Amino acid sequence: MSTRDSDLQGPAWDLTAEYASLDSSELQSDLDRASALMDEMEALTPELGEAGSPSAAGSPSAAGSPSAAGSPSAAGAISAAQRVRKLADDADVLLRNVAVFVRCLLSVNSRNEAAQVLNGRLRSYQQRYADLLQPLTQFCDLADEQTIDAYLSDPQVAPCAFLVRHSRERCHELLSLPEESLVNGLSRDGIHAWGNLYDQLSGTLSCKVLLDNEQREMGLAEASGLLQKQDDRLRRSSWQAINQAWEGHEETCAAAINAIAGWRLELCRKRSLRRPVHFLDAPVHMNRIQRDTLEALLQVAGEHRELARRAARLQAAAYGKTAIGPWDSRAPAPVISQDQGPGIAFADAVRLIADAYGGVHPEMGDFVRMMVQNRWIEGTRGNSKRPGAYCTGFAKSRTPRVYMTYTGGASDVITLAHELGHAYHSWVMRDLPESQRSYGMSLAETASTFGETLVRDAMLQNASSAQTRLEVAWEEMSALVTFVLNIPTRFEFEKKFYERRQERPLRPAELKSLMSEVWITWYGDAVSEPDPLFWASKLHFYISGLSFYNFPYLFGYLFSLGLYARRQAADTNFYPRYVALLRDTGRMTAENLADRHLNTDIRKPEFWRDALGALAPRVDAFEDLLRDVGRAPAH
Ligand SMILES: [Zn+2]
């Protein structure tokens, strides 16, 4: 039985149900309609100001202020706000629909000129939409309780109650209206300029990598691609070359990271008039979790450091080393046999995933087959395709799409399972009001990681070759090391940096020694040396729009593992509870979600301990597997 190359490739997706083409009249009429809706929003804006700017700006929580819901001006503002909300929802659906269509076309062919042009045009629509939404956001944050109750009493507006109330939890931080708009205006050339500077730098920096005994100059993106190669020495020299390039710009990076943190800390100070505002308040709130939950999570990660270090040492042993290097975080499984097998045909991958999903409930297997039958998956191998994989969806039809490049490797199957998990998540939410269908980053990976774990287990059981088993188990171990050692390293560095930054900016040498110190705290002897320039080379520290872009990864990973552990505990009622949980991800905090659907308090360590504890036998199994293929460490 041989698998032909063409069977390995995935199918092309079908987008024509949304728009026939870029110049379809339906697409143009959607944009025209969005414009008309935004005109109406604009016309209503002056009426909104009346309840949005009362004395409430000084004391937003003071109920019963003069502009309370009963007064005539407040009544006008409330009905204007309700109308703006509905107009905005309608415009948002249309704009997102076109944006997703354009993005899909550009992913398949990044040189699609017409799509590029429309993308540029679309940006001005999106900017206008964002500007027009501002007054409504301010109204919702600043109005008194009575006004908000009246605003939410409209049945069409009521579904956004969670979003409104959740946002208002931070209204004690608000400055006056003119101050807020001043901060907003200045941020473009303030904090965001530092982020842009970093992006410019990383996009134009080059480094010299020793390749086949020859120094080759290349961009950082190409050099970091080499970190995924089999050759241990090549990974090491690429990492060294990348760090050398960053070291040449360490003053610039230090200026940027100090300015970004300084801006945020100064804003926290200014916002602390009513109640002290901590630099972790914003990221924690944005992820819809509490500080206690974050602390429990990190505590349990710390308790399981040794388990993750063991996984790292086993990976090192597979490469004939005693410890991994900082250049190994994306190292592939070593090749243990030349017999690589024919690859997994796309149809076989779909069968495998549908069976694994269907093992939870037949509906989940049917969903996978439906995605294929409807041609909602893009998996071809095109030359102009953009790299990567994602799941998206059309707002009008509420149908998901999965994008990837399928070539028949074990990791492609896992990627497909992951993206189908995202698609399933959006599918079970398809009948909900628009305002309840978006979730924070902490819960965004719930269904994807769950689906990935299901399929990985199935592959470990059914894989015919030792090489495939090794590749599947390898990814599982890499995830453990990344989430339990690397992510906490990033978090602890950022936290300690913010604490010290309150006194003064840190010098590059101080940033390097802080990073090394934290690195060793987490990795211990599982790593041969720390990565002192990680604060410069890691883009995540320079995203000016959000801070602490690290712990949500750890949360998402452990939350779905915890869910998986629940499923394995032979809970017969698991499936309906799982679907109910997914459906509530857009209208609840993570604590309430876990309390309602899992009967657990995630502010306490137990849930997280169960999640990570379930991985110990997996590390044992990985060691057995290495022993079978003669790569286990000597005891
Ligand atoms: Zn994902």
Between the CA of 227 and the centroid of ligand 1 the distance, in Å, is 21
Between the CA of 220 and the centroid of ligand 1 the distance, in Å, is 24
Residues sharing a CB contact under 8 Å with residue 29, sequence separation 6 or more, in sequence order: none
Between the CA of 419 and the centroid of ligand 1 the distance, in Å, is 6
Q: Is the pLDDT of residue 88 over 80?
A: yes
Between the CA of 99 and the centroid of ligand 1 the distance, in Å, is 20
Which structure tokens are listed for 93? 């659906």
pLDDT at site 68: 55
Residue 238 CB-half CA count within 13 A:
26
Phi and psi at 431, nearest 5°, equal -95, 0
Between the CA of 445 and the centroid of ligand 1 the distance, in Å, is 5
- Comparing 74 with 66, which gets the higher pLDDT? 74
Model confidence pLDDT, tens digit, residues 345-384: 999 999 999 999 999 999 999 999 999 999 999 999 988 8
Among the ranges given (109-118, 272-281, 292-301, 308-317), the one the predictor scored with the smallest mean pLDDT? 109-118
CA distances from 224 to 116, 218, 345, 478, 540 (A): 27, 10, 29, 17, 15
- Domains defined for the chain, CATH in brackets: 25-174 (1.20.140), 250-270+278-335+481-635 (1.10.1370.20), 346-464 (3.40.390)
In the predicted model, what is the mean pLDDT of residues 386-413?
93
The 10 Å Cβ neighbour count of residue 599 is 10
Model confidence pLDDT, tens digit, residues 148-160: 999 999 999 999 9
Between the CA of 553 and the centroid of ligand 1 the distance, in Å, is 10
Which of 358, 328, 235, 339 minimizes the C-alpha distance to 529? 328
Between the CA of 517 and the centroid of ligand 1 the distance, in Å, is 31
Spatial distance between the Cα atoms of 48 and 74, rounded to a whole number of angstroms: 9
Between the CA of 449 and the centroid of ligand 1 the distance, in Å, is 7
Which structure tokens are listed for 254? 């230090």
Between the CA of 214 and the centroid of ligand 1 the distance, in Å, is 38
Between the CA of 582 and the centroid of ligand 1 the distance, in Å, is 15
Between the CA of 491 and the centroid of ligand 1 the distance, in Å, is 20
What average pLDDT does the structure give for the chain? 92
Between the CA of 475 and the centroid of ligand 1 the distance, in Å, is 15
Residues sharing a CB contact under 8 Å with residue 140, sequence separation 6 or more, in sequence order: 81, 148, 151, 164, 167, 168
Between the CA of 555 and the centroid of ligand 1 the distance, in Å, is 13
Among the ranges given (270-284, 386-400, 455-469), the one the predictor scored with the smallest mean pLDDT? 455-469
Strand partners, 211: 214
Q: How confident is the model at residue 110 (pLDDT cuts 50, 70, 90)?
A: confident
pLDDT at site 318: 96
pLDDT at site 54: 41
Between the CA of 383 and the centroid of ligand 1 the distance, in Å, is 24
Spatial distance between the Cα atoms of 583 and 98, rounded to a whole number of angstroms: 25
Phi and psi at 388, nearest 5°, equal 95, 175
Between the CA of 425 and the centroid of ligand 1 the distance, in Å, is 11
Which structure tokens are listed for 574? 């698991």
Between the CA of 241 and the centroid of ligand 1 the distance, in Å, is 30
Model confidence pLDDT, tens digit, residues 23-46: 999 999 999 999 999 999 999 999
pLDDT at site 570: 66
- What is the value of pTM for the model shown? 0.90
Between the CA of 613 and the centroid of ligand 1 the distance, in Å, is 23
Element (H, E) at 43: helix 25-52
Spatial distance between the Cα atoms of 155 and 160, rounded to a whole number of angstroms: 10
Between the CA of 355 and the centroid of ligand 1 the distance, in Å, is 21
